[in-house]
Structure 1
Amino acid sequence: MRVTFSRVVRWAGMTSPYSRPALICNDRSGSYDESIHRQLIDACAAAGASVAASFILPKDDLPDAAALRASAIDLLIVWTGDGTINAAATGCEGWHGPLLPLPGGTLNLLSKQLHGDHPAPTILERALANGGRRAPVPTIRSAAREAFITVVAGPATRWAEVRETMRSQGLIEASREAPDALEEMLNAPGVQVAGSDAAYPAIILTPTREGITADGIVADATGDVLRHGLAWLGGDFRDGPHERVATAETIILESDRIIALEYDGELAEIPSPARFSIGQSALDFIATA
């Protein structure tokens, strides 16, 4: 069954449809740039929609729906990584304004999906000028969490920890963790889609308008393992060898042990078997691509 997504709105003309935007950013992030922060604030002012509230992580808490309503916020600009975009969208559920994700992290997968590969100020200027499209996005729901971009499941998610160590502590420290990640990828019990005979070091679940796609990463040869390690350390695990396993509204994953997960870049675990279902965000997102 094809999932239907509604509430699509198009804006035209040069008058901004917003008057009271709020901005979320993280000034402790490695990708934070004060000059870009200033450009975002200036872009709002130039459009006649000066920033009405700022939430600067980690000093400030993420706003909830009540806080946004109390300040009459009509647009939430989130200039952070994918994981914080997920937390921001989840935290303000019940607020009726849209969220504009901007590239402010390492992968920026949701921003690229909605806007293409463009700088944050350019995306914001376009959204304020002629709006683009406003609509919910497809999501993946489990018993524990909701993902707006991807769920990666399986022992190969250990590489995500190596990537974070490299980002925060450098290559030397990351190299000390890489052998353990390699051991997990090659020898730990894999994960499989229920009803399938093949187990994989990781399965990537992606929400689409046709359902959830499940892709198993392939590591049958030394070259495959090397390519996966480089793909994970470089940021986008989907650059490694993989094959399509299934597309369905519901995917059940199985393993002989607790399943390690990465929800939109944030690590977690879930018991096996684990059910993942297609859904749609309660919040509208703005796309400019």
Structure 2
Amino acid sequence: MTPPARRPALVCNSQSGSFDSARRDWIAEQFAAAGTPLVADYCLPDQKLPDPARLVADGVDLAVVWGGDGTINASVAALAGWDGTLLALPGGTLNLLVKQLHGERELEAILADVLSGRAHRDVPPTVACAAGRAMVNMLAGPTTVWAEVREHVRQRELASAAALVPEALEESLAGDPVRLAGDAREFQAISMTPSRDGIVVDGLYADSPTLLLRHAIAWVGGDFRDGPRERLTARPTVTISSDAPLGLLMDGEHADGAASVTFRIEPAPMAMLLTMPLP
């Protein structure tokens, strides 16, 4: 097990799904009560993410990132190469990475384990490509447009979400499909999840009205990986191609790729605190 940090700093996002200023104060109080008060507090988007030089200058040894998957992913990218440890706490809507690191547990239970030393350091696997890195999931294909619909729904901007639905339907049915190298089949999207055994690759179907409806419900209602899919392979490296530049989604954040992109398993660029073993 890992002893509690001596000089923690908090990174949060006021636009994350479950942000609350009173909750942020409570987190700070727990660290103070444990004898390790926060030495810094970076709250996005009003403040910028710290870089390794900033944390080193402040003597920070634990970056406590309280936010959604996108905020955690951005923090990992910003702190790449830092020799401290990152603690991810649930502060978003789906909290997929936190569930991998800590299970289906509430923030209070996770923090209690960490502050009492019942946690361990590990370096999780990630899916990486030229465009960036995914801690939880990398998605390639035209149906990534549904992520924007979901974001508007999450922000309760229902009129904006409804306005995007026709585009999402058109892209899903008529957008350029994607292919896994060595497999002639075509999919509306290909999902890649990091694991100890390599990249777990699933083909997602949305090429008929019935499948498209199921896919849309999975996207808007929660985890898109619950939609129609087929397990294709698990390997250290995969190449995905299309007849047009690939739309990518890395832990819920958009990116653009070439018409052919190679993805690989890489260790995360820093250690993280876990309260349960990685699968």
TM-score (norm 2): 0.94
Taking the aligned partners of 1:177 and 1:57, their CA distance within structure 2 comes to 27
Runs of 4+ in 1 over 6 A off after TM superposition: none
Pair 1:171 & 2:158 matched: yes
The number of aligned residues is 276
% of aligned pairs identical?
Answer: 44
1:159 pairs with one of 126, 146, 150: 146
Aligned partner letter, 2:42: F
Pair 1:207 & 2:198 matched: no
Q: 1:282 aligns to what SS in structure 2?
A: coil
Aligned partner letter, 2:96: L
Q: 1:238 aligns to what SS in structure 2?
A: helix
1:232 pairs with one of 200, 203, 219: 219
Taking the aligned partners of 1:180 and 1:91, their CA distance within structure 2 comes to 33
Residue equivalent to 2:20 = 33
Pair 1:267 & 2:254 matched: yes
Residue equivalent to 1:198 = 185
Asked if the contact 2:131/2:255 (under 8 Å) is kept, the reply is no
Residue equivalent to 1:73 = 60
Matched ranges for 1:1-289 at <5 A? 10-11=1-2, 16-168=3-155, 170-219=157-206, 221-289=208-276
Q: 1:90 aligns to what SS in structure 2?
A: helix
Residues 35/221 of structure 1: CA separation in 2 closer, same or farther (3 Å cut): same
Taking the aligned partners of 2:207 and 2:249, their CA distance within structure 1 comes to 23
Cα shift at 1:47: 1.3
Cα shift at 1:197: 1.1
Aligned partner letter, 1:102: L
Taking the aligned partners of 2:241 and 2:207, their CA distance within structure 1 comes to 20
TM-score (norm 1): 0.91
Where structure 2 has 5 or more consecutive residues not aligned to the other structure, the ranges are none
Aligned partner letter, 1:58: P
Asked if the contact 2:188/2:207 (under 8 Å) is kept, the reply is no
Aligned-residue CA RMSD in angstroms? 1.4
